[in-house]
Amino acid sequence: YGARTYVDDAHGLGVIGDGGRGTPSFFGIKPDILMGTFSKSLASQGGFICCSKEINEWLRLKARTFIFSAGLSPANAASALKALEILEKEPALVTRQQENAAYLKKKFEEAGLNTMGTETSVIPVFIGDDQTALLSCKMLLEAGVFTTPVVYPAVPRGHGVIRCSVMSTHTKENLDRAAHAFAELAPLIRQANNSQSSETFYDVLSLPPDQVIGALKEKIKQIEL
Protein backbone atom coordinates (compact mmCIF):
# COMPACT_ATOMS: atom_id res chain seq x y z
CA TYR A 1 0.00 0.00 0.00
CA GLY A 2 3.01 2.32 0.02
CA ALA A 3 2.62 3.07 3.73
CA ARG A 4 5.41 3.38 6.28
CA THR A 5 5.33 1.85 9.76
CA TYR A 6 5.89 4.10 12.77
CA VAL A 7 6.29 3.01 16.40
CA ASP A 8 6.08 5.38 19.37
CA ASP A 9 8.13 3.43 21.91
CA ALA A 10 8.04 5.90 24.80
CA HIS A 11 7.03 3.15 27.25
CA GLY A 12 9.05 0.31 25.73
CA LEU A 13 12.69 1.41 25.62
CA GLY A 14 14.67 0.06 28.56
CA VAL A 15 11.68 -1.95 29.71
CA ILE A 16 10.71 -4.74 27.32
CA GLY A 17 12.49 -6.74 24.65
CA ASP A 18 15.97 -8.26 24.75
CA GLY A 19 18.04 -6.22 27.20
CA GLY A 20 15.38 -3.52 27.24
CA ARG A 21 15.67 -2.82 23.53
CA GLY A 22 11.98 -1.99 23.34
CA THR A 23 8.88 -2.91 21.40
CA PRO A 24 10.55 -3.81 18.07
CA SER A 25 12.74 -6.34 19.89
CA PHE A 26 9.75 -7.65 21.86
CA PHE A 27 7.74 -8.36 18.69
CA GLY A 28 10.67 -9.06 16.37
CA ILE A 29 9.83 -6.25 13.95
CA LYS A 30 11.72 -3.43 12.24
CA PRO A 31 9.54 -0.34 11.73
CA ASP A 32 10.43 2.36 9.22
CA ILE A 33 10.35 4.97 11.98
CA LEU A 34 11.05 4.34 15.67
CA MET A 35 10.45 7.20 18.07
CA GLY A 36 11.58 7.14 21.67
CA THR A 37 11.99 9.44 24.63
CA PHE A 38 14.79 10.08 27.11
CA SER A 39 12.36 11.18 29.82
CA LYS A 40 11.23 7.77 31.10
CA SER A 41 13.59 4.82 31.48
CA LEU A 42 16.63 6.96 30.59
CA ALA A 43 15.82 9.57 33.27
CA SER A 44 16.68 12.60 31.13
CA GLN A 45 14.88 14.91 28.70
CA GLY A 46 14.48 14.94 24.95
CA GLY A 47 13.76 12.27 22.39
CA PHE A 48 15.00 10.59 19.25
CA ILE A 49 13.99 9.13 15.89
CA CYS A 50 15.59 6.02 14.34
CA CYS A 51 15.00 5.83 10.60
CA SER A 52 16.60 5.67 7.16
CA LYS A 53 18.70 8.51 5.76
CA GLU A 54 15.88 9.36 3.35
CA ILE A 55 13.28 9.72 6.11
CA ASN A 56 15.76 11.59 8.28
CA GLU A 57 16.29 14.23 5.60
CA TRP A 58 12.54 14.64 5.11
CA LEU A 59 11.90 15.01 8.86
CA ARG A 60 14.67 17.57 9.29
CA LEU A 61 13.07 19.76 6.62
CA LYS A 62 9.36 19.08 7.21
CA ALA A 63 8.81 18.24 10.90
CA ARG A 64 7.72 21.60 12.30
CA THR A 65 8.05 20.55 15.93
CA PHE A 66 11.69 19.68 15.23
CA ILE A 67 12.44 22.76 13.15
CA PHE A 68 11.20 25.16 15.82
CA SER A 69 12.59 23.37 18.89
CA ALA A 70 15.89 24.01 20.64
CA GLY A 71 18.76 21.56 20.50
CA LEU A 72 19.26 18.98 23.23
CA SER A 73 21.49 20.25 26.04
CA PRO A 74 24.87 18.50 26.52
CA ALA A 75 23.89 17.56 30.08
CA ASN A 76 20.69 15.81 28.95
CA ALA A 77 22.51 14.03 26.14
CA ALA A 78 25.25 12.83 28.50
CA SER A 79 22.68 11.69 31.05
CA ALA A 80 20.79 9.62 28.47
CA LEU A 81 24.03 8.08 27.17
CA LYS A 82 25.07 7.11 30.70
CA ALA A 83 21.68 5.49 31.30
CA LEU A 84 22.14 3.45 28.11
CA GLU A 85 25.59 2.36 29.32
CA ILE A 86 24.08 1.18 32.60
CA LEU A 87 21.40 -0.78 30.73
CA GLU A 88 24.07 -2.53 28.67
CA LYS A 89 26.30 -3.33 31.64
CA GLU A 90 23.53 -4.35 34.06
CA PRO A 91 20.87 -6.38 32.18
CA ALA A 92 19.67 -7.73 35.53
CA LEU A 93 18.02 -4.34 36.12
CA VAL A 94 15.74 -4.90 33.13
CA THR A 95 14.92 -8.45 34.23
CA ARG A 96 14.07 -7.34 37.76
CA GLN A 97 11.94 -4.48 36.47
CA GLN A 98 10.01 -6.85 34.19
CA GLU A 99 9.43 -9.23 37.10
CA ASN A 100 8.23 -6.37 39.32
CA ALA A 101 5.81 -5.10 36.66
CA ALA A 102 4.38 -8.59 36.07
CA TYR A 103 3.97 -9.10 39.83
CA LEU A 104 2.05 -5.86 40.40
CA LYS A 105 -0.07 -6.36 37.29
CA LYS A 106 -1.10 -9.80 38.54
CA LYS A 107 -2.01 -8.35 41.94
CA PHE A 108 -4.18 -5.70 40.31
CA GLU A 109 -5.97 -8.23 38.13
CA GLU A 110 -6.58 -10.48 41.15
CA ALA A 111 -8.37 -7.48 42.71
CA GLY A 112 -10.61 -7.26 39.64
CA LEU A 113 -8.90 -4.21 38.16
CA ASN A 114 -8.54 -3.66 34.41
CA THR A 115 -4.87 -3.17 33.42
CA MET A 116 -5.77 -2.81 29.74
CA GLY A 117 -3.45 -5.56 28.50
CA THR A 118 -0.21 -3.71 29.22
CA GLU A 119 3.19 -5.40 28.89
CA THR A 120 5.34 -2.47 30.07
CA SER A 121 6.27 -1.08 33.47
CA VAL A 122 3.80 1.79 33.08
CA ILE A 123 0.70 -0.04 34.29
CA PRO A 124 -2.61 1.70 33.57
CA VAL A 125 -5.60 0.94 35.77
CA PHE A 126 -8.82 1.80 33.95
CA ILE A 127 -11.15 3.94 36.05
CA GLY A 128 -13.76 5.56 33.82
CA ASP A 129 -14.97 8.96 34.96
CA ASP A 130 -12.42 11.70 35.59
CA GLN A 131 -13.61 12.62 39.06
CA THR A 132 -13.08 9.12 40.43
CA ALA A 133 -9.64 8.91 38.80
CA LEU A 134 -8.51 12.17 40.40
CA LEU A 135 -9.91 11.39 43.83
CA SER A 136 -8.58 7.83 43.77
CA CYS A 137 -5.10 9.23 43.17
CA LYS A 138 -5.55 11.48 46.18
CA MET A 139 -6.57 8.55 48.36
CA LEU A 140 -3.68 6.44 47.10
CA LEU A 141 -1.26 9.25 47.94
CA GLU A 142 -2.62 9.35 51.48
CA ALA A 143 -1.85 5.62 51.65
CA GLY A 144 1.74 6.32 50.59
CA VAL A 145 1.35 5.32 46.93
CA PHE A 146 2.25 7.89 44.28
CA THR A 147 0.36 7.53 40.99
CA THR A 148 -0.60 9.82 38.12
CA PRO A 149 -4.12 10.33 36.75
CA VAL A 150 -4.74 10.58 33.01
CA VAL A 151 -8.04 12.32 32.29
CA TYR A 152 -9.81 14.36 29.58
CA PRO A 153 -8.57 15.86 27.25
CA ALA A 154 -5.54 13.50 27.30
CA VAL A 155 -8.05 10.65 26.92
CA PRO A 156 -11.72 10.67 25.81
CA ARG A 157 -14.36 11.50 28.41
CA GLY A 158 -15.24 8.46 30.47
CA HIS A 159 -11.88 6.80 29.81
CA GLY A 160 -9.83 8.11 32.75
CA VAL A 161 -7.00 5.91 33.99
CA ILE A 162 -4.45 5.85 36.78
CA ARG A 163 -0.85 5.16 35.79
CA CYS A 164 1.57 3.27 38.00
CA SER A 165 5.27 3.36 37.11
CA VAL A 166 7.13 0.28 38.33
CA MET A 167 10.91 0.39 38.83
CA SER A 168 13.59 -2.24 39.25
CA THR A 169 14.39 -0.77 42.67
CA HIS A 170 10.89 -1.37 44.04
CA THR A 171 10.88 -4.08 46.69
CA LYS A 172 8.22 -6.74 47.09
CA GLU A 173 7.04 -4.85 50.18
CA ASN A 174 6.64 -1.67 48.09
CA LEU A 175 4.59 -3.53 45.48
CA ASP A 176 2.44 -5.28 48.07
CA ARG A 177 1.69 -1.93 49.71
CA ALA A 178 0.58 -0.50 46.38
CA ALA A 179 -1.51 -3.59 45.60
CA HIS A 180 -3.21 -3.39 49.01
CA ALA A 181 -4.01 0.31 48.56
CA PHE A 182 -5.60 -0.38 45.17
CA ALA A 183 -7.50 -3.38 46.55
CA GLU A 184 -9.02 -1.09 49.19
CA LEU A 185 -10.31 1.15 46.39
CA ALA A 186 -11.33 -1.70 44.08
CA PRO A 187 -15.09 -1.53 44.86
CA LEU A 188 -15.13 2.20 44.06
CA ILE A 189 -13.08 1.70 40.89
CA ARG A 190 -15.19 -1.18 39.60
CA GLN A 191 -18.37 0.86 40.05
CA ALA A 192 -16.74 3.81 38.27
CA ASN A 193 -15.90 1.46 35.37
CA ASN A 194 -19.63 1.09 34.79
CA SER A 195 -20.68 4.70 35.44
CA GLN A 196 -21.76 6.96 32.58
CA SER A 197 -20.49 10.22 34.05
CA SER A 198 -18.90 11.65 37.16
CA GLU A 199 -22.03 13.70 37.86
CA THR A 200 -24.34 10.69 38.13
CA PHE A 201 -21.76 8.55 39.89
CA TYR A 202 -20.78 10.49 42.98
CA ASP A 203 -20.53 14.24 43.41
CA VAL A 204 -17.98 14.66 46.18
CA LEU A 205 -16.55 17.90 44.83
CA SER A 206 -19.45 19.77 46.40
CA LEU A 207 -18.14 18.78 49.84
CA PRO A 208 -15.55 20.74 51.87
CA PRO A 209 -12.00 19.50 51.07
CA ASP A 210 -11.50 18.00 54.53
CA GLN A 211 -14.60 15.83 54.08
CA VAL A 212 -13.84 14.39 50.63
CA ILE A 213 -11.72 11.40 51.71
CA GLY A 214 -14.13 10.42 54.47
CA ALA A 215 -17.07 10.61 52.07
CA LEU A 216 -15.31 8.39 49.55
CA LYS A 217 -14.47 5.80 52.20
CA GLU A 218 -18.11 5.77 53.26
CA LYS A 219 -19.13 5.31 49.62
CA ILE A 220 -16.82 2.28 49.37
CA LYS A 221 -18.51 0.74 52.42
CA GLN A 222 -21.93 1.27 50.83
CA ILE A 223 -20.79 -0.43 47.61
CA GLU A 224 -19.41 -3.42 49.54
CA LEU A 225 -22.72 -3.81 51.37
**What integer pLDDT is reported at residue 202 of this predicted model?**
47
**Distances from the Cα of 107 to the Cα of 137, 147, 158, angstroms:** 18, 16, 24
Kindly give the pairing relationship between strand 33-37 and strand 6-8: parallel
Full pLDDT tens readout for the chain, 225 residues? 789 999 999 999 999 999 999 999 999 999 999 999 999 999 999 999 999 999 999 999 998 888 888 889 999 999 999 999 999 999 999 999 999 999 999 999 999 999 998 888 999 999 998 889 999 999 999 999 999 999 999 998 889 999 999 999 999 999 999 999 999 999 888 888 876 544 434 455 455 666 666 776 776 666 555
The rounded Cα 24 to chain-centroid distance in angstroms is 19
pTM, two decimal places: 0.78
Rounded distance, CA 119 to CA 61, Å? 35
Q: Is the dihedral of CA 20, 23, 28, 33 positive or negative?
A: negative
Residue 57 identity (one-letter amino acid): E
b/e burial code for range 69-93 (CB count within 10 A of at least 16 → b): eeeeeeebeebbeebbeebeeeeeb
CA within 13 Å, CB half, 166: 33
Q: Which of 191, 170, 178 is nearest to 147 (CA)?
A: 178
Q: Is 13 left (phi over 0), alpha (psi -120 to 50) or beta?
A: beta
Task: List domains and CATH numbers for the chain.
Answer: 6-89 (3.40.640.10), 92-224 (3.90.1150.10)
**What integer pLDDT is reported at residue 197 of this predicted model?**
47
Angle, helices 172-193/91-110, rounded to nearest 10 degrees: 40
CB atoms within 10 A of CB 211: 12
**What integer pLDDT is reported at residue 219 of this predicted model?**
66
Strand order in the sheet with 47-50: 6-8, 33-37, 47-50
**What integer pLDDT is reported at residue 223 of this predicted model?**
58
